[in-house]
Amino acid sequence: MPSLKEVKTKIDGVKKTSQITKAMNMVASAKLRGAQDKMEAFRPYTAKFNEAMGTMSGNMDASAFPLMEKREVKTVELVLVTSDRGLCGSFNANINVMAEKMMQKFEDEGKKVSIVCVGKKGNQYFQKTGKVRKAYTDIMGTFQMFNARAIAQDVAEQFLAGETDEVHLISASFKSVAVQKPIAENLLPVQPESSEGSESTEGEGGGVDYIYEPSPNEIMDVLLPLYMNVMVYHSMLEVGASEHAARMTAMDNATNACNDIVDELTTIYNKARQAAITGDLMDIVGGAEALKG
């Protein structure tokens, strides 16, 4: 049985760890509020942007726009969005595993794969593979739209130069404080989703025939780069909020685990203390009996 001093030292150490994890939980909770507000405020904009792009591109010739050009896929680029910091459970690991599975799938099909890492954790995971073309680290804590614009522009230049034939965006979707799921979306060639229910609406006589000024082609030339900016920025917002939620949950679990360990160590400490007291009493009784004899 360990000595009283050893157990007492362990109890003090675990209690200090518990204080740290509890403080980190509170910090993550405070940061989550701001990140979640920004994410939820941007979601309607992203949805409307996608709807507008889907409406405009529905009857257009995709080959007229370089960013919408479909070609034989020989090279694939994965834009991986993770956090810069750890201590958030399996959040980053889940995103990295999805990216690794997609990379393996494309390589099995005979396609060349490159990776653009946004966030330090993704870069650390894939750096050893030698497939990281570019990394944007130490920006996830303070990113703004200009960061997303730089990433989207770099990826678009690679696509337009013929260096890549297809680009996929891998990030996370914030469902709730307890649930954050990794997701993969097509980024290039641009294929905006058509607005749902448009066919049924036209059948009921409620369709809208829009008049565009200037021409739809001129508008699309401007909107296509913006569409990529919006997609990348939206993914970064989702990952930012998901990171804080995952860290809050992880630190709460760590605090509870520390409390359980303290309870177990306290039980061990009490048993050791009782054994020590019993030993002292037996020595006293033994000494008294020896004096009587």
- Nearest alpha-carbon partner for 99 in 152, 200, 159, 168: 168
Q: Is 292 helix (H, G, I), strand (E, B) or coil?
A: helix
- The span from the CA of 212 to the CA of 53, in Å, is 13
In this structure, what token pair is assigned to residue 251?
């630190």
Indicate which residues carry an active-site annotation. Answer: 88
Q: Are 84 and 71 in contact (CB under 8 A)?
A: no
Cα–Cα distance measured from residue 266 to residue 11, given in angstroms and rounded to the nearest whole number: 7
| Both tokens assigned to 35 | 């990140």
Question: Scanning the structure block, which residue is given the tokens 């809050």?
Answer: 248
**Structural tokens at position 74:** 């020989």
Distances (CA, A) of 104 to 107, 109, 113, 185, 188: 5, 9, 9, 17, 19
Q: Which two tokens stand for residue 37?
A: 């507000």
Phi/psi of residue 4, nearest 5 degrees:
-60, -40
